[in-house]
Structure 1
Amino acid sequence: MKKIINILLLTLCVHPSWAQFSANGSIEFTKVTSVKMNIQVEMGEEIEKNEYMKDYVKQLPKTKSVFYKMSFNKKQSHYFFDKDGPEKVPLWGGKDPASENIVVKNFSNNTITAQKEVYESNYIIQDSLPKYKWKILDEMRPIAGYNCRKAITTMDDSVVVVAYYTEQIMVSSGPESFGGLPGMILGLAIPRLYTTWFASKVNPGIEMGENEIKKIKKGKELSNEKLFKELQPKLKEWGKYGAAILWKIRV
């Protein structure tokens, strides 16, 4: 996973002196998941016992990319699925859960509203903004033309999250539910999920038009805690793979 992060950083970085200070604009993110490694680690024993699963894993690409966009200002950020990457991933059990999320963070009342599709069920999460306990480090890296500082936190004291944020974008937000740092998160890695998110382009001062932003549809409304309680019994029998799916949904 560390190798994947370094490769992505080298690919997506632009000289940081080009960056501007801003409190509104739009960002394009690329999410990359090591799908083959993920399923081999989480379902290793099951794969060895099942010839169908062995053949399925052979068809998987090493990585899969998904593209997202975000429009933001001081009042809110609106993050949403844009399109899938070019990699061909054979479907197994349907679309990857929570891969086409829409996440709206309201900074005026500290709330988050998120649309997440999980196995053909559409959920609308309404909750307060998550409060992550970040440890801010001295390490700096350039991402998409911005100087970014490294920070680390954990989800439920078990899943490590590494973020790179910039104070040059004066909005405390980032991909999915993440935020709570003194600036915008432009890089994110969750080794437990073999997944990274990195900004590929930032448009400072240029917000997206209403017709460009995907809106939240109707669905079953509940909190993050209630969603977890509803899905946990259904995914528990899937072992490590089911636990990984729960984490994907929770981010």
Structure 2
Amino acid sequence: MIKFITTLLTLLCITGVHAQYAYFGTRGKIAFDKITFTKARIRSMTQQMDPSRSMRFGTGNLDNMPESSTQKLVLHFDESSTLLLPEVTAENATSTGRGNRGAGGGNIRITGGQGNISVRGNSGGGMVVARGGMGSNSKIMYQDLKKNISNLQLEIDQKYTITDSLNNITWRFTDEYRDIAGFECRRVNGATPDSLYIVAFYTDQIPVSAGPALTSGLPGMILGLAIPEMHIQYWATKVDYTNDTIPMDWKDKKATPITMDEFVKNIGRMYQRGRDSGTARRQVLEQLIY
């Protein structure tokens, strides 16, 4: 009996030692597929336009457009920051026109090249796609989790580095779980300060409170993100741990520094006619971030 108890205690001690050294990496990179459901996205956009501008938008060619398009992104992370940027591959240079398991996000390709829907205003206060504009191929997102600030670098008429505080998302936890890239992830439903509904799946096995599209505020890394109203989703496909901190040479020194409020105030004028300032702000933020 004494021998049995001794053996049991030994096994418990060994198990405890292994548990203490379970590895939860705080540095690495995550491959994401970002998929935009193209047709649904454009239909939603054209509903906000008057019929004449809708025709100029080119919705008559909607049947010839792909159901979705996919963009490859990489999220670098360490204990205090993240950096999201496009993956530089030959495949990323052309639009895939494919979905990924009905999930993920990618950008709508309208005028050539994968990129976010680019926005310019018009006298009716609607939205149209600009040529060039806020392309995701040039968009970089940085989060400083310690200082609670974000930087967004993108090119429109010129290159900007936009500074803002991290988005304060209100999260509600659920009991739904799913496996994403080999990690058990819990579903949470969220709402931004501008009342945009989002769904996220996070894992506490990567103890960094962050995610794609400048998301944060959960007890772990977000590996799945969906914005139903915008028909955009992000899904992690692979996680690699490293010993490296976030590379800091991403910032273009020639980019014009500007705050998010200043940027929204200037660009938001395009949306002001017939709309309140809150709606204009939300539309600009949606186009910039997601």
TM-score by length of 1: 0.79
In structure 1, the partner of 2:103 is none
Displacement, 1:127? 2.4
Cα contact 2:31–2:238 (8 A) shared by 1: yes
Equivalent-residue separation in structure 2 for 1:24 and 1:54 (angstroms): 44
In structure 1, the residue matched to 2:96 is 86
**CA shift at 1:167, angstroms?**
0.2
Shift in Å at residue 209 of structure 1? 8.5
Mapped contact 2:268–2:284 kept (Cα < 8 A): no
Cα distance between partner residues in 2 of 1:56 and 1:238: 28
Q: What is the CA-CA distance between 1:96 and the residue it aligns to?
A: 6.1
Aligned mates of 1:78, 1:159 — CA distance in 2:
23
Contact persistence 1:80–1:214 (CA under 8 A): no
Q: Tell me how far 1:230 sits from its aligned partner.
A: 1.6
Please, which moves more after superposition, 57-66 or 176-185? 57-66
Question: Which residue matches 2:100?
Answer: none
- Partners of 1:226 and 1:186 lie apart in 2 by 31
- Are 1:219 and 2:255 an aligned pair? yes
Aligned to 2:72: 67
Matched, 1:39 2:47: no
Name the % identity.
Answer: 26
Q: Quick one: higher RCO (CA 8 Å, sep 6+), 1 or 2?
A: 1
Change (3 A) 1:250 1:226: farther
Alignment of 1:54-203 (within 5 A): 54-83=59-88, 84=92, 85-87=95-97, 89-91=109-111, 93-95=130-132, 97=134, 99-100=136-137, 101-117=139-155, 119-203=156-240
Q: Which has the higher strand share?
A: 1
Work out the CA distance in 2 between the residues paired with 1:157 and 1:93: 24
Match of 1:16 in 2: none
5+ residue gaps, structure 2, are 1-21, 98-107, 112-128
Deviations 1:107-158 (A, max 9, x none): 33222222123x3332211222222221122211110000111112112342
Q: Which residue of 1 aligns with 2:266?
A: 230
Q: What is aligned with 1:248? A: 287
Contact 2:153 2:160 in 1 (8 A): yes
Instruction: Find the aligned partners of 2:80 and 2:199 in 1 and give their Cα distance.
Output: 25
Q: Distance in 2 between matches of 1:174 and 1:50?
A: 37
Residue identity opposite 2:150 in structure 1: I
Note the C-alpha offset of 1:40.
1.5
Aligned Cα RMSD in Å? 3.1
Structure 1 residues 98 and 242: CA distance shift in structure 2, 3 A = farther
| Unmatched 5+ stretches in structure 1 | 1-18
Count of residue correspondences: 230
Conserved? CA contact 1:125–1:223, under 8 Å: yes
